[in-house]
Amino acid sequence: MPPSPDAGPAPTVDQATVDQATVDQATVDLLGLLAYGELTAFERMATDARMSPTVADKIALAKMAAAEFAHFQAISDELDRLGVDRELAMAPFIAPLTAFHNSTAPADWLESLVKAYVGDNIAADFYREIAARLPSPSRELVLKVLDDTGHAAFAVERVRAAISANPTVAGRLALWARRLVGEALTQAQRVGVDRDALTGLLVGVGDLEALAAIFNRIMAAHGRRMAALGLSA
Amino acid sequence: MPPSPDAGPAPTVDQATVDQATVDQATVDLLGLLAYGELTAFERMATDARMSPTVADKIALAKMAAAEFAHFQAISDELDRLGVDRELAMAPFIAPLTAFHNSTAPADWLESLVKAYVGDNIAADFYREIAARLPSPSRELVLKVLDDTGHAAFAVERVRAAISANPTVAGRLALWARRLVGEALTQAQRVGVDRDALTGLLVGVGDLEALAAIFNRIMAAHGRRMAALGLSA
């Protein structure tokens, strides 16, 4: 992975300067990012299912993976509807998403559960913040896809049980979650530098204070998930 | 993998001696075998998708994998309907299916395509022969699941194109297909020795000639698929 250049503080731009062309490129970018994100999440979860200690766990993770593929299909269909080549739309995000997954390959079953829960949800929160600024009906589609997870309870229950059986596990998993967030931020910054239209949507919120509020919302939700797992954020 | 004992020729048993209890255990066995077969096929295809040379190929293999998971769901639901614990039903088949996949891990994208096409279809043909002897509605469900593949064209097209670009590939892939069949037969024999009820259904066809006919049908279909790929069987 090449070192990410310093993005520096986002410049403040008035919402009115975000014109239709920018929004359209941003829509394509977000859909492309989401599509490839779901496709790689599918692949990685299905691969991680091989580490599952029981058949029931294997089935649960495989089900989560299959749901990710259904999401990929929904996003791909939306790109088709917009007349956008889905491979072209995904292309800019292959390198950062591959780099993220390569640098965060879970070493065991618990790490893969934490990645599925913490990693997926922090990404989803970030996508949601951008999606809220997209035109209809892409906005509604993206928000619907992001809401359809429903696998939180499974991961939380398994991780809590593992910590309860062996409390020393908590320290290792908390470090792991921190690494996941760090790598995600590194790649998000890389995407932000390369994709002006996507960044433009967030910059379009008007001021650094609003941008900080978005970041704080995402990190607060992350903290609640870590607490649910029984891990210190 | 422990060496499989020699199963020897199957004894001839009259169809009438295959009583209801045997058929019921055979139904549970076949559904359990199929369920775990679909689950592992899902896992392996999704893993193999990481070797795909293009995003389009990755999507195509991921789609095949997701279809396998849908099949797993359908078979699991049938086990639920019969009041059978699905994990207990799958348990006897974990070792042979794991051994099969561990001994046939594709080294590259073309090997994974040949495995998805040749391996899946020869297994499907074998399951179909057994399923035809199951009671309704399990019979219809299994036959429906087995028919819903529709990914043949993709694998055939890719493998033929690869051979056309580099004819020396054909020899290697033909050897690979032969190894797949050999490993599948080894594990099928292992299952046959362990699972009397399942074997009983096939033995119930009445005589060795009928059993030979089943084997010949399966191998003839395999030969046609190899020819479709441009490989010598």
Instruction: For residue A67, tell me if it sits in a domain.
Output: yes
Instruction: For residue A224, tell me if it sits in a domain.
Output: yes
Note the pLDDT of residue B176.
95
- Check whether A131 has a pLDDT greater than 90: no
Cα atoms found within 13 Å of the Cα of residue B222, Cβ hemisphere only: 24
**From the CA of B56, how many Å to the nearest CA of chain A?**
7
**From the CA of B30, how many Å to the nearest CA of chain A?**
17
Give B219-233 pLDDT, tens digit per residue.
899 999 999 999 987
Instruction: For residue A164, tell me if it sits in a domain.
Output: yes
- The answer to whether residue B58 neighbours chain A at the CB level (below 8 Å) is yes
Contact A118, A155 (CB under 8 A): no
Quote the CA–CA distance of B119 and B128 in Å, as a whole number: 14
Instruction: For residue A5, tell me if it sits in a domain.
Output: no
Q: Which domain holds residue A155?
A: 18-229
Instruction: For residue B102, tell me if it sits in a domain.
Output: yes
Instruction: For residue B150, tell me if it sits in a domain.
Output: yes
Quote the CA–CA distance of A188 and A191 in Å, as a whole number: 5
- Check whether A162 has a pLDDT greater than 60: yes
- The answer to whether residue A49 neighbours chain B at the CB level (below 8 Å) is yes
Give the residue-averaged pLDDT of B141-150.
78
**Distances, alpha carbon B85 to alpha carbons A229, B20, B82, B88, in Å:** 30, 20, 9, 5
CATH number at residue B49: 1.20.1260.10
- The nearest alpha carbon in chain B to A56 belongs to B87
Instruction: For residue B113, tell me if it sits in a domain.
Output: yes
Overall domain count for chain A? 1
Note the pLDDT of residue B214.
82
Going B216 to B220 to B222 to B223, the CA torsion angle's sign is positive
Closest to B119 in 3D by CA, of B193, B229, B2: B229
Instruction: For residue A11, tell me if it sits in a domain.
Output: no
Indicate left, alpha or beta for A193 from its phi (over 0: left) and psi (-120 to 50: alpha): alpha
Give B117-133 pLDDT, tens digit per residue.
888 888 888 888 888 88
Element (H, E) at B139: helix B138-147
- The answer to whether residue A63 neighbours chain B at the CB level (below 8 Å) is yes
Note the pLDDT of residue B93.
93
Note the pLDDT of residue B192.
76
Show Cβ contacts of residue A109 under 8 Å, excluding neighbours closer than 6 positions. Answer: A48, A51, A52, A53, A57
